[in-house]
Structure 1
Amino acid sequence: MAGSVRMMGRLSWLAAAGCLLAGGAPAGAADLGGDCCADLEERIAELEATTARKGNRKVSLEVSGHINEAVMWWDDGLESNVYQGTNDTARSRVRFKGSAKIADGWKAGYLLEFGIRTNRLPRTDADLPSASPGTPDLRHSMWFIESERYGKVSMGQTSQASDGVTEVTTANTNHFARPSLSKWNGNFDVVIDGDRKANEWRDFMAQSGASGDNVPGEGDRRNLVRYDTAEIAGFIASAAWGEDDFWDLSLRYKGEFAGFKLAAAIGYAEYSDANLRPSPALGSVPAGSASNLRGCSSIGGVDVDCSDLGLSASIMHSGTGLFVTGAYGLRDDKNRSAIFGQSVDDTDDFWSVQAGIERKWISLGKTTVYGEYAEFNTGAGITGAGTVATFSGIDATRTRQVGSDISYWGLGINQHLEAAAMDLYLAYRHHEGDVTLGAAADLSDTASYSFESLDIVLGGAMIKF
């Protein structure tokens, strides 16, 4: 309030000075009409009444975010169509953040961020052109205390240490072309031998966090306590713990060397509690079993025993703009054999590569052109709604997943518009996959089924504010 009074005083003095100057000038040179000071003070009062204000003068407030909307064309082998909606790869969001100085080299701050979706494109399918319209979700709500020398401690809902370890890149592609498969086609039903089944592509893949990236080794946002070291020669180490119980570690690097831009990350996580939200990675069958939000399996509430390893690295030649990015992830779920009562594949893994060139060929901004390939290998699982008949639409006698292999290749282009903080993108992915199913009583009694390919073209824009 005191700040507002002082500001009003300053503006009033400026208004008075303006009126005096105007009074000493010829009428034609400064004809403000009537009482100029009263008019200016009225305008100042109007602006103050309509301006967003902070709760206090000690902590800064910055409002930012972006809008990411796209058009998606798809063809599943039986049908094709075009939908419009939010690109969930980097969905629209609004962010509030700020900080305040505590002492020399020390500060405290906060981050509050909400995701916003109109039509969630990766949850649409052949029969559902609109999904989750207008549903905001809380992404971050945390505070932190940071020292320039000793690092930062954070608490609240925010990224665990391993969040983003498979998504590092030196190119401008993460807002639409991350390694995740399900951010493009997560909800589309598979088509086998010309027949659309009830199972979706993501049913045959490992679950990865609450956001469902289906990328083994990738972290997420969770309720936690986290510590990040100060940067040392481009390196930052992180550790987090939360939500009884998980813990994880990560190491990140970013720098330049001999004309190359380099970025890399590696993370390791362990999960050991079953009292978490179920996910479709193993479902809730046989009776008494369950799975947590990581897709790690549990029997009758017994703690999970699951670990993740994820990493990625990217290099770009500064002179030419040529770049290569690679990623790898692995999950080890030690409870699967106990759930199935037989020896099964208890690991999931993936790898991906993206390569291209990013240069400023036109004055508007840098252009990025790339090609990509990714492969996802998933072990044993019972997916979907949690019934032993999950795969009955495919094979009534074989209701257990022994393993699956899903891949995609793609091409894309992104044009950055510097003047508008905007990115225009157009990309294509071709998806292929197959699954091996086994009988419940004897997993060696197997049959394999190939999916019709799924083609998707995604074009849109992201604008930051």
Structure 2
Amino acid sequence: MTPNPASAGLVLLAAFPAQALDFGLPDAGKGNVYGQLSPVWLSFDDGAQSIGQIVDNNDSNSRIGVLLDWSLDDDARLTFNFETALGFFQSNQLTMQGLDGTPWIDWSTEDIRKLELFARTDAGTFWAGQGDMATYAVAEFDESGTVVAGYSDYQAIAGGFAFVQADGTPSQIVISDVFVNLEGSRRFRLRYDSPDRAGFTLSAAAGNDELNDKPGTYYDAALRYVNDHGRFHMGGGIGYALTEKPGESDSRAVMGSIAVLDRPTGLNTALAAGRQIDGGSYIYAKLGWITTFVPAGQTALAAEYYGSSGIGFEGSGRSWGLMALQRFDRLSTEFYIGYRHYALTGTSTAFRDSESFVFGSRWTF
């Protein structure tokens, strides 16, 4: 398939070095503009047919944001954060029908990631507005350096593709039904984070989907731990989420993850797991190695496995993947490749295996 000219241009932009975009504000405030471009070539083979297309990588999509920060007193700061995706066609939207008439660039209010105020005080951090729920990223602790190529939010790469039954008939089951990490997303919410105590932080939030105009109320809480132990850097967390939607039964889930990096060797491991209360469960594992093969920057290699049972359908899902990433520090750019193999085992239906391949870059400023 011929790449979209706009998306192909993103690859060229990734070659330019980043520039600092800091500026001053009245009353001794300070501001910062930041962002990234994240184009990726995604190909998918469902066992019956295949497709390839340049899209935006939903693992870490193209975005731009601004931070405005003021000191309230010696111990407190007030920050405004606006951040939006750029409206490019996402990797988790692609199907065997391609873009299917959808414009490659189509910004809407659903692309707004953050529109929030937060105050950091001795008593903790208080948040209001569109932003991360308490369990956001609690199942994503990962020290491999390959997150842009793949992590526990498995559906972000190829979540829109449907599995094909053994006889070649497309099913109604898509990757995003089966391969999930159950954590919270971004909502219009109130959130509180406790002060850091020996690496531990407790968070709680309540919110709804104002920007997406979807009825429902979301509540969640999470406990995180991040600290160093000699040569090891460790991070982890566990969370609980409750979703209430009109006309539907309440949805509850627990999820969490842990990741450890051995700094001298670059060896690292990550483990994530979750369970829907009265539903299915999953487990995700990754092994990685960070080293320096070339002076330009670090190289990261990783292998992953995902297994779920009873999520999205009556059966189990299995997947494994390999990924490699090369960083170019002077250009603030990463180039990466990734491969995943997917399999479903149903109680009454057989499915063909499928696979995805990505080659992309991410330029940050």
TM-score, structure 2 length as denominator?
0.85
For the pair 1:411 / 2:322, whether they are aligned, the reply is yes
Q: Greater share of strand residues, 1 or 2?
A: 2
**1:216 Cα deviation from its structure 2 partner:** 4.4
Specify the alignment match of 1:435 in structure 2: 346
Structure 2 SS opposite 1:122? coil
Note the alpha carbon deviations across 1:330-382, whole angstroms, 9 max, x for none.
111xxxxxxxxxxxxx3121111010200122211111111110012225x6x
For residue 147 of structure 2, the aligned residue among 151, 174, 179 is 174
Q: Greater share of helix residues, 1 or 2?
A: 1
Specify the alignment match of 1:72 in structure 2: 42
Q: 1:348/1:420 Cα in 2 relative to 1: closer, same or farther (>3 Å)?
A: same
**1:266 Cα deviation from its structure 2 partner:** 1.0
Q: Is the 8 Å Cα contact of residues 65 and 93 (structure 1) preserved in structure 2?
A: yes
Specify the alignment match of 1:320 in structure 2: 265
Q: Using the alignment, how far apart are the partners of 2:23 and 2:302 within structure 1?
A: 44
Residue type matched to 1:360 in 2? T
Note the alpha carbon deviations across 1:157-185, whole angstroms, 9 max, x for none.
11111011110111212222022332222
Specify the alignment match of 1:183 in structure 2: 156
Question: How many equivalent pairs are there?
Answer: 334
Any gaps of 5 or more consecutive residues in structure 2? 1-20, 209-215
Structure 2 SS opposite 1:248? strand
Any gaps of 5 or more consecutive residues in structure 1? 1-50, 206-213, 276-289, 291-297, 299-303, 333-345, 382-400, 437-447
Aligned runs of 1:51-200 on 2, under 5 Å?
56=26, 58-129=28-99, 131=102, 133-136=104-107, 137-147=111-121, 149-200=122-173
Q: Using the alignment, how far apart are the partners of 1:231 and 1:153 within structure 2?
A: 14
Aligned runs of 1:325-404 on 2, under 5 Å?
325-332=270-277, 346-379=278-311, 401=313, 403-404=314-315
TM-score, structure 1 length as denominator?
0.68
Q: Using the alignment, how far apart are the partners of 1:95 and 1:203 within structure 2?
A: 27
For the pair 1:233 / 2:144, whether they are aligned, the reply is no
Structure 2 SS opposite 1:450? coil
% identical equivalent positions: 22
Q: Using the alignment, how far apart are the partners of 1:144 and 1:453 within structure 2?
A: 46
For residue 332 of structure 2, the aligned residue among 416, 421, 428 is 421
For the pair 1:306 / 2:271, whether they are aligned, the reply is no
Specify the alignment match of 2:189 in structure 1: 224
Q: Is the 8 Å Cα contact of residues 319 and 340 (structure 2) preserved in structure 1?
A: yes
The more displaced of 246-255 and 321-330 is 246-255
Specify the alignment match of 2:14 in structure 1: none
Q: Is the 8 Å Cα contact of residues 108 and 145 (structure 1) preserved in structure 2?
A: yes
Note the alpha carbon deviations across 1:76-124, whole angstroms, 9 max, x for none.
2122232111111111110111210111111111111101242322211
Ranked by relative contact order (alpha carbons within 8 Å, sequence separation 6 or more), the top structure is: 2
For residue 252 of structure 1, the aligned residue among 224, 227, 232 is 224
**1:247 Cα deviation from its structure 2 partner:** 2.3
**1:453 Cα deviation from its structure 2 partner:** 0.9
Note the alpha carbon deviations across 1:102-149, whole angstroms, 9 max, x for none.
1111111111110124232221122224655213311111101111x2
Q: Is the 8 Å Cα contact of residues 165 and 171 (structure 2) preserved in structure 1?
A: no
Specify the alignment match of 1:455 in structure 2: 355
Q: 1:306/1:105 Cα in 2 relative to 1: closer, same or farther (>3 Å)?
A: same
Select the structure of larger CA radius of gyration: 1
Q: Is the 8 Å Cα contact of residues 78 and 194 (structure 1) preserved in structure 2?
A: no
Structure 1 SS opposite 2:38? strand
Q: Using the alignment, how far apart are the partners of 1:173 and 1:104 within structure 2?
A: 38
Structure 2 SS opposite 1:163? coil
Q: 1:190/1:238 Cα in 2 relative to 1: closer, same or farther (>3 Å)?
A: same
Note the alpha carbon deviations across 1:359-412, whole angstroms, 9 max, x for none.
122211111111110012225x6xxxxxxxxxxxxxxxxxxx5x1211110111
